Structure 1
Amino acid sequence: MRKILIPTDFSENANNAIKFATELFKYEVCEFYIMHAYQDDIYADETLFTKTNLESIKSMMSKKSEEELETTLKYIDSISPNPRHTYHTISADNLLIDETDTIVDNQNIDIIIMGTRGKTNDKKITFGSHTLQVIKYVQCPVLAIPENYEYTQPKHILFPTNYLIPYKRRELKLLCEMASPYRAVIDVLYMSKSAKLSMRQIDNQNFIKNELCKNQINFIVIKSKHIVNVIYKYIKENNVDMLVMVNTRHSFLENMLYQSTIDEFSLNLDIPFLALQNMRRD
């Protein structure tokens, strides 16, 4: 059974991510955990509370959160009444990152799906701060859905890699099982000045090939060091509809997340983005 966590702030973007998730996994038996963490909302405006009324504000926020989660369940039932899917709601007086981390561990979550921007994020940035924090700090694959993105079956997936990472079987299996119902083509893209691979890289390439065996895989080499530019160009020229990258030390994605290129990367990425975490989980 697939276990999926969807954080929500009840925005249109969050609802769009929910809609995408129910469509993407419509053929699988899934448990969805719809979570709202509202601690940031409590302290967002310090003029609204004092020590004496803090508890009443928390109670009000909790009630509002529960009501909106019930409304969200009704919305899901209206758009995707799927007998394969069951839903749990979680209303938490906690920070988003902390609550997400707790649920991932306690429920052994397979994937987090969330919109790239919520109610309060800067309109100039595609990846909202919450999405970036989850990708950076929570040890679980994250599928980020761009604002206003209309669901499209993932038929063509781009997976840039340097073949230096010993990928986790569980994460590649997730990608394989996401893609195979749609007969997706996965382009594994290696960017380097040299096309020659070391023995370690060949081993990792073979591991990818074996784990993604249900899908058509194309192994592609582009002789370039300009990673971001190559990815953009490839997406646009080849009608790619999902980008997959791994967030771990010395990876392409780590360089993008922790350096200034993330701003450029975020502003222009308008397709779903799956960040694998190379995690150590059963």
Structure 2
Amino acid sequence: MRTILIPTDFSKNALHALQYAQELYKCERCCFFILHAYMDEVYGEYKTTSFEDLEERKRIKKEESEKKLDHLVGTILGNPPNPLHNFETIAVFDSLVDGINDFVNEMNIDMVIMGTKGETSDHKTTFGSYTIEVFKYLKCPVLAVPEGFEYRQPKVILFPTDYMLPYKRRELKLLGNLARKFKSEVHCLYFTDFDELSIRQMDNKKFLEGSLSDTYLSFGTTPVKNKAEGIMEYVEKNEVGMLVMVNSRHSFFEDMLYRSTVDLLGLKVGIPFLVMQNLNR
């Protein structure tokens, strides 16, 4: 059974991500864990309060969160419900990132699927600040679903890479499963001004080919320029249905997302964005 974690702040976009996850895995046995982290709601603007008042506020927020989670599950079960899917809810007194990370480690979650914006997000950016933090610090694949994106099968998956990372087999297996299920083409795109790969790059490319041997793979190169703009051009010209990148310190992904805000980099992803990790779990 596949295990999927869906963080929610009860916003429309979080609900949209949950509905997308149900469609993505509608033909597979899945357990969807729906998690709400309510620590920020407890502290809020109450910077000075007694211990007793704080404990009472925690109790109230926990009860409120559990009721909202139960109501949420009731609204998304479907009629008739999908017999392959079951749902569990979790309310945690923790920050969003820590709450997700702890649960991912405890339950060995396969993937986190979340909306790109929440109730308090800046609508001038593609990714909310919480989404960026989850991308950066989670040791688990994260699929971000853009606000308003209508579900469709990803027939073309774009995988920009410089072949410098030692890919993790578990992460590539997840990508391969998605590609096989939808008979998707996986386009590996390398930004370079050079024709030859180093020995390290060739080894990583061979590992990539071996791990995705039963999927349709294509390899392309394009001259180095603004990588975010290059990716978006490729997405538009090739009708890409999903963008996949690997997160690692000093990586291509870090180059794009960690130096500055997404707006300044010009990365406006209007399709689901899967961030894989190369960290040990």
- Establish whether TM, by shorter chain, passes 0.5: yes
Counterpart in the other structure of 1:25: 25
Counterpart in the other structure of 1:74: 74
Counterpart in the other structure of 2:114: 114
Counterpart in the other structure of 2:2: 2
Q: How many residues align?
A: 281
Return the letter of the residue paired with 1:212. Answer: L
- In structure 2, distance between residues paired with 1:31 and 1:203: 36
Q: Give the deviation of 1:22 after TM superposition.
A: 0.9
Structure 2 SS opposite 1:53:
helix
- Residues 126, 266 of structure 1: 8 Å contact kept: no
CA spacing shift, 1:266–1:37, aligned 2, 3 Å: farther
Return the letter of the residue paired with 2:34. Answer: I
- In structure 1, distance between residues paired with 2:51 and 2:266: 40
- In structure 2, distance between residues paired with 1:80 and 1:243: 32
- In structure 1, distance between residues paired with 2:26 and 2:153: 11
Q: Does 1:272 align with 2:272?
A: yes
Return the letter of the residue paired with 2:213. Answer: C
Counterpart in the other structure of 2:170: 170
Question: 74-83 vs 110-119, which deviates more?
Answer: 74-83
Q: Give the deviation of 1:265 after TM superposition.
A: 4.6
Structure 2 SS opposite 1:268:
coil
Return the letter of the residue paired with 1:272. Answer: P
Q: How does 1:127-166 map onto structure 2 within 5 Å?
A: 127-166=127-166
Question: 162-171 vs 198-207, which deviates more?
Answer: 198-207
Counterpart in the other structure of 1:55: 55
Q: Does 1:38 align with 2:58?
A: no
- In structure 1, distance between residues paired with 2:95 and 2:226: 37
CA spacing shift, 1:176–1:268, aligned 2, 3 Å: same
CA spacing shift, 1:261–1:234, aligned 2, 3 Å: farther
Structure 2 SS opposite 1:112:
strand
Return the letter of the residue paired with 2:141. Answer: P
- In structure 2, distance between residues paired with 1:151 and 1:76: 16
Counterpart in the other structure of 1:229: 229
Q: Give the deviation of 1:211 after TM superposition.
A: 1.3
Return the letter of the residue paired with 1:244. Answer: V
- Residues 124, 267 of structure 1: 8 Å contact kept: no
Q: Give the deviation of 1:47 after TM superposition.
A: 7.5
- Residues 193, 225 of structure 1: 8 Å contact kept: no
Structure 1 SS opposite 2:19:
helix
Counterpart in the other structure of 2:192: 192
Counterpart in the other structure of 2:85: 85
Question: 33-42 vs 206-215, which deviates more?
Answer: 206-215
- In structure 2, distance between residues paired with 1:111 and 1:236: 26
Q: TM-score, normalised by structure 2?
A: 0.95
Return the letter of the residue paired with 1:124. Answer: K
Q: Give the deviation of 1:225 after TM superposition.
A: 3.7
- In structure 1, distance between residues paired with 2:261 and 2:197: 27
- Residues 257, 265 of structure 2: 8 Å contact kept: no
Structure 2 SS opposite 1:275:
strand
- In structure 1, distance between residues paired with 2:48 and 2:146: 33
Structure 1 SS opposite 2:244:
strand
- Residues 125, 267 of structure 1: 8 Å contact kept: no
Return the letter of the residue paired with 2:35. Answer: M
Return the letter of the residue paired with 1:14. Answer: A
CA spacing shift, 1:159–1:235, aligned 2, 3 Å: same
Structure 2 SS opposite 1:259:
coil
**RMSD over aligned Cα atoms:** 1.7
Q: Give the deviation of 1:79 after TM superposition.
A: 6.7
- Residues 246, 278 of structure 2: 8 Å contact kept: yes
- In structure 1, distance between residues paired with 2:267 and 2:147: 11
CA spacing shift, 1:25–1:112, aligned 2, 3 Å: same
Structure 1 SS opposite 2:77:
helix
Q: Does 1:182 align with 2:170?
A: no
Q: After TM superposition, which residue ranges in structure 1, 4 or more long, deviate above 3 angstroms?
A: 47-52, 264-267
CA spacing shift, 1:20–1:265, aligned 2, 3 Å: farther
- In structure 2, distance between residues paired with 1:152 and 1:265: 27
Return the letter of the residue paired with 1:115. Answer: G
Structure 2 SS opposite 1:70:
helix
